[in-house]
Amino acid sequence: MLKDAALRLLRTSSFRLAIQSAILSAFGAVLVFAIIYHASENAVRAELDSTVSSEAADVISDAKDDASFLKSVQIATAESDGTFYALTTADGTEIAGNVAMSPRAAQRWTSWRTMKGKDGIKLPPRITAIRGLATKLSNGDTLFVAENASALRSLNHLIRNAFVTVFGVILIIGIASGLLVARGALKRIEAISDTSRDIMSGDLSRRITLKGTGDEFDRLAKNLNLMLARIQSLMENVQQVSNDIAHDLRSPLARLREHLELAGERTTDKATQTEIEDSIKQVDTALEIFAAMLRIAEVEAGARRRDFNIVDLSNLLKDLADTFETVAESENMDLSTDISDGLKLNGDRELLTQMFVNIIENAIHHSPAGSRIFIAARSTRAGRAEIVISDNGPGIPEAELTRVLRRFVKLDASRHREGTGLGLSLAVAVAELHNGSINLSGNDPGLRVAIALPLAP
């Protein structure tokens, strides 16, 4: 549970925006530190280079010939106050100076260079690097003049450590602030989602709680509440109109049926009695349609969800199978089952019974004699019950499998029996009320109706 909550938090757009801001701030810090680093390094390096150039020029200007070069270097070395000198031959052999370097290091040192102990030179204690200039003399020797560059190296370390520290702090603060912002936003979104679920469950009176901050979430919640109030008003008006129409028409239709029955009893003419019986059947069909429409409207409104209880789905299906087995035998059909025990869900037993009855009756009514009807039920790894009711009758064309789930749709070409065309619509409404689904597919031959319903925890 905690892992799922953490994943939801990390997937929020608020967290991603906060992380993006932190990354941009970190890159800004990188840019600032890069500018500071280069400016500081260039300033220190320029001062060192100026001192080295001046010292090298003094040594060279004091020398008149090859012998005097050696003497000039020796004098400069003796008078040195932190400046390093080295005079080497073309092969790197040291002639004079106060810094020892290997022939390889001497040959690698060309023009300006910063040298450390690992580069083949021996430095005095507490000096970590020197920076100097290598100058080729007319006799082929090389004069090295350098200054203490430990400050330059220390500056590099200081800036690098400061950058790592600041960069890490910015990222930590960014991630922490992202989590806080995402947590607050997620709470507001979850509140809206919970309200939406309650409304979909049939409680149209639910509204989103305002925090009173006047922020974008409050403005969104206010607009959604206004929209919900409007939807509630429209739904109540539609429901009231539908109920009024259904009730107002059912009463005169019921009276019309009574009059037709009385008329049938009073007449002795066979043709007239036949016409009256047909009329009564038509009135009964109209009454069934109105009853089914009211039932669907009641289910889709979701009000029945408040009365949900734990239903033993296994026992319910077995009871229905026992009941319809006799009906199937009377139609010269075979009804068999494979129903797992212990399937329980939170729902309305009466509505679930109606849904399964509609589907099983469809299978019996629309299949010819000798057909086989099979009812199977099992649990899935996803925590849902999968109920399959299949037959090997004429089936439904693949192109019509979705359309037959709509209201008043009847396929006369393949389903020749009479009906209202509302049985499957009611089944769909009941499945959706229980957060389930119905899927129709071919059974090669016949029809396969798969119903998925969430099991109780």
Query: According to the model, what pLDDT value does residue 434 have?
Result: 84
Are residues 172 and 280 located together in one domain of the fold? no
Query: Among the ranges 37-41, 115-119, 275-279, 359-363, which has the highest mean pLDDT value?
Result: 359-363
Same domain, 407 and 294: no
Average pLDDT value for residue range 276-288: 78
pLDDT at 138 over 80: no
Q: Where are the beta strands (DSSP E) in 293-357?
A: 309-312, 334-339, 344-347
User: Which band of pLDDT confidence, cut at 50, 70 and 90, is reported for residue 343?
Assistant: very high
Q: Select from 200, 233, 249 the last residue of a domain.
A: 200
pLDDT value of residue 416: 44
Q: Is residue 157 part of a domain?
A: yes
pLDDT tens column, 68-111: 666 676 666 666 667 787 777 777 777 777 777 777 766 667 77
Number of separate domains in the chain: 3
Kindly report the average pLDDT of the chain as a whole number.
78
Average pLDDT over residues 149-161: 76
Q: Is the dihedral of CA 144, 150, 156, 159 positive or negative?
A: negative
pLDDT at 415 (0 to 100): 42
pLDDT tens-place string over residues 172-213: 777 777 777 777 777 777 788 888 777 776 667 778 888 777
pLDDT at 413: 45
Lowest mean pLDDT among 11-20, 277-286, 333-342: 11-20
* Residue 209 included in any domain: no
Residue 59 has pLDDT above 80, yes or no: no
Q: Are residues 138 and 115 in the same domain?
A: yes
- Dihedral sign (CA 386, 387, 392, 398): negative
Residues 336 and 377 in one domain: yes
Same domain, 111 and 228: no
Provide the pLDDT for residue 189: 78
In sequence order, which ranges of 64-135 are alpha helices (DSSP H)? Answer: 66-78, 103-108
- Tell me: pLDDT of 317 over 80: yes
Could you give the CA distance from residue 143 to residue 254 in angstroms, rounded to a whole number? Answer: 123
Residue 78, pLDDT score: 66
The crossing angle, in degrees rounded to 10, of helices 216-266 and 270-301 is: 160
More confident residue, 313 or 234: 313
| Whether residue 357 is found in the same domain as residue 242 | no
**Could you tell me what percent of the chain has a pLDDT over 90?**
12
Average pLDDT over residues 276-290: 77
Question: 396 or 66, which is more confident?
Answer: 396
Q: 303 falls in which pLDDT band (50, 70, 90)?
A: low
Distances from the Cα of 161 to the Cαs of 114, 153, 199, 425, in angstroms?
Answer: 21, 12, 56, 70
190 plus 258 within the same structural domain: no
Cβ-based neighbours of 293, under 8 Å, separated by 6 or more? 242, 246, 422
- Which of these ranges, 121-130, 244-253, 291-300, 316-325, has the smallest mean pLDDT? 291-300
Quick one: 273 and 336 in the same domain?
no
C-alpha to C-alpha distance for 89 and 106, rounded to whole angstroms:
9
Instruction: Please report the pLDDT score of residue 372 as a whole number.
Output: 92
Tell me what pLDDT residue 393 has: 85
Predicted confidence (pLDDT) per residue in 348-399, tens digit? 888 888 889 888 988 888 888 889 999 999 998 888 999 999 998 888 888 7
Residues 10 and 145 in one domain: yes
In a domain, 240, yes or no: yes
Predicted confidence (pLDDT) at residue 417 exceeds the cutoff of 60? no
**Phi/psi of residue 95, each to 5°?**
-100, -45
Predicted confidence (pLDDT) at residue 402 exceeds the cutoff of 90: no
Question: What percent of the chain has pLDDT above 70?
Answer: 79
Quote the pLDDT of residue 164.
Answer: 78
Instruction: Classify residue 418: in a domain, yes or no.
Output: yes
Q: How many helices (H) and strands (E) does the chain have?
A: 10, 14
DSSP of 9-66, one letter per residue?
HHTSHHHHHHHHHHHHHHHHHHHHHHHHHHHHHHHHHHHHHHHHHHHHHHHHHH--SH
3-class state of residue 90 by DSSP: coil
Pick from 342, 337, 343: which is nearest to 375 by CA? 337
> Looking at residue 334, what is its pLDDT?
92
Cα end-to-end span (Å), the chain: 15
Domain-located, residue 19: yes
> Strand pairing of 121-122 and 100-101?
antiparallel
Least confident among 263-277, 292-306, 345-359, 430-444 = 292-306
pLDDT on residue 62: 66
Task: Please give the sequence-ordered ranges of beta strands (E in DSSP) within 283-418, or none if there are none.
Answer: 309-312, 334-339, 344-347, 372-379, 384-391
Q: Compare 139 and 67 and report the one with higher pLDDT.
A: 139
Q: Residue 143: in which H helix or E strand, if any?
A: strand 142-148
Range of the domain at 268: 216-303
Given pLDDT bands bounded at 50, 70 and 90, which one contains residue 312? very high
User: What confidence tier does 314 reach under pLDDT thresholds 50, 70, 90?
Assistant: very high
Q: Report the CATH number that the domain containing residue 256 is assigned in CATH.
A: 1.10.287.130
E strands, 245-292, in order: none
Does 229 share its domain with 321? no
